[in-house]
Chains A and B, each alone.
Chain A
């Protein structure tokens, strides 16, 4: 995986995680969880638009909007599932604003590069991999002309 292919906003998130010891990585994940934005009003009343991420242990739903080829990701996850919220929040912050091509080119292994597998267990991380895969699939569907 070549470094330069990772958009800078994702590289920044990754480097923030890798710069910490294990315990502080969890703390950073918790900060992401707390930062997951509320849905904008135009989507808050449209649960039908959202896709359930079956790979996650908790009910998390995502929705991708592509406007002028710029990706916006929205996600909801319950407060009692902070790990899942954190994963969703990383992707919401990391993918939003990128072009659809940039997201599609992102390695499916991105969640594995954050140095979290020891801290949260590889099984838990797979939820984030599932979220990323579903985000990409939605982009493919929405950009297919």
Chain B
């Protein structure tokens, strides 16, 4: 039961326009059978202060992460989460959130690990919805539980582990953290001092493209020609490239993964969710300091 895609002209130039919907489209389709709107925020209480009518909340930490191991929930956990969120395997899921969809993109990436087919982002997230003057509600829906199948998570296609990254060296890497984190001036993003690592810097040869370059002032994605200027001309990505993106814990790089994969059409993009909090604490992996990418280390 897939719902028609948003025909908005600004999405037509992207490789996968079916992955984006506008705030207006969401407002017009609220209540459509088969559509579930999901809010996913950094702030665990933001949904409770007001959300899109009918939207359910999925929290990156308390819902999508395994409570013990540093990993995502397993197939059973995901099926339970989907069931209580009223999401069926064939539901159209639209995710939006705070911080320009930073966490919404992370949730979308986790949905994709479980092969949920129709999952989309609302362009611009909460900020755009608010700027448009659209309505919020405090009412929390109680969706009827669904029968969501237990699907094994597929970690091989869009997820990279540290050994994959070591084997990948020599191929394009995109570091989406702040310039200060990339150069090694600091181990943490400004404002997140505890999500640190023992060493600072970046994976040698990684290009620095902070994730937020992909969004315009109003929080929506930039048009394709601007994305091309940033990622192709700026960071040297080419058709056919096998790309790994990373950040600190894999949430900002999910956003870049979305841009490279669905907007620009690079078919082979993986997100290294271990990211700097893992790499920067590993023993004897290569690290480069400073503003230059540095050479690919010999193995």
Which A residues lie at the B interface, using CB under 8 A? 26-27, 29-30, 33, 54-58, 79-84, 86, 118-121, 123-124, 126, 130
CB neighbours (8 Å) of A33 from chain B are 45, 49
Which B residues lie at the A interface, using CB under 8 A? 42-46, 48-49, 61-62, 67, 98, 126, 190-195
Given contacts A56-B191, A57-B191, contact A121 B45 (CB under 8 A): no
CB neighbours (8 Å) of B190 from chain A are 54
CB distance from A79 to the nearest CB of B (A): 7
B49 lies within 8 A of A79 (CB): yes
CB neighbours (8 Å) of B194 from chain A are 55, 123, 126
A82 lies within 8 A of B49 (CB): yes
CB neighbours (8 Å) of A81 from chain B are 43, 46
CB distance from B68 to the nearest CB of A (A): 12
CB distance from A3 to the nearest CB of B (A): 28
CB distance from A115 to the nearest CB of B (A): 14
- From B48, B192, B193, B195, contact of A82 by CB (8 A): B48
Report the bound CA distance from A84 to B126 in whole Å: 18
Given contacts A30-B48, A119-B62, A121-B61, contact A84 B191 (CB under 8 A): no
CB neighbours (8 Å) of B62 from chain A are 118-121
User: Can you show 27 pairs from A to B with CB atoms below 8 A apart?
Assistant: A26-B44, A26-B45, A26-B48, A29-B45, A30-B45, A30-B49, A33-B45, A55-B193, A57-B192, A58-B43, A80-B49, A80-B98, A81-B43, A82-B43, A82-B45, A82-B46, A82-B49, A83-B43, A83-B46, A86-B45, A118-B62, A120-B44, A121-B44, A121-B61, A123-B61, A123-B194, A124-B61
The total of interchain contacts (Cβ-Cβ below 8 angstroms) comes to 60
Which residue of the partner chain B has the closest CB to A122? Answer: B194
Given contacts A30-B48, A54-B191, A55-B194, contact A80 B43 (CB under 8 A): yes
CB neighbours (8 Å) of A30 from chain B are 45, 48-49
A33-B49, A80-B43, A123-B195 known; 8 other A-B pairs, CB under 8 Å? A33-B45, A54-B190, A55-B193, A55-B194, A83-B45, A83-B46, A120-B62, A121-B61
Report the bound CA distance from A56 to B194 in whole Å: 10
B43 lies within 8 A of A84 (CB): yes
Given contacts A55-B194, A119-B62, contact A124 B44 (CB under 8 A): yes
CB neighbours (8 Å) of A86 from chain B are 45
Report the bound CA distance from A55 to B196 in whole Å: 12
Report the bound CA distance from A123 to B61 in whole Å: 10
Report the bound CA distance from A56 to B44 in whole Å: 14
CB neighbours (8 Å) of A126 from chain B are 194
Report the bound CA distance from A33 to B45 in whole Å: 9
Which 10 residue pairs are nearest across A and B when measured between Cβ atoms? A82-B45, A121-B61, A126-B194, A83-B45, A83-B43, A120-B44, A30-B48, A82-B49, A57-B191, A30-B45
CB distance from B125 to the nearest CB of A (A): 11
CB neighbours (8 Å) of B61 from chain A are 120-121, 123-124
Report the bound CA distance from A42 to B45 in whole Å: 30
CB distance from B142 to the nearest CB of A (A): 13
CB neighbours (8 Å) of A80 from chain B are 43, 46, 49, 98, 126
CB neighbours (8 Å) of A82 from chain B are 43, 45-46, 48-49
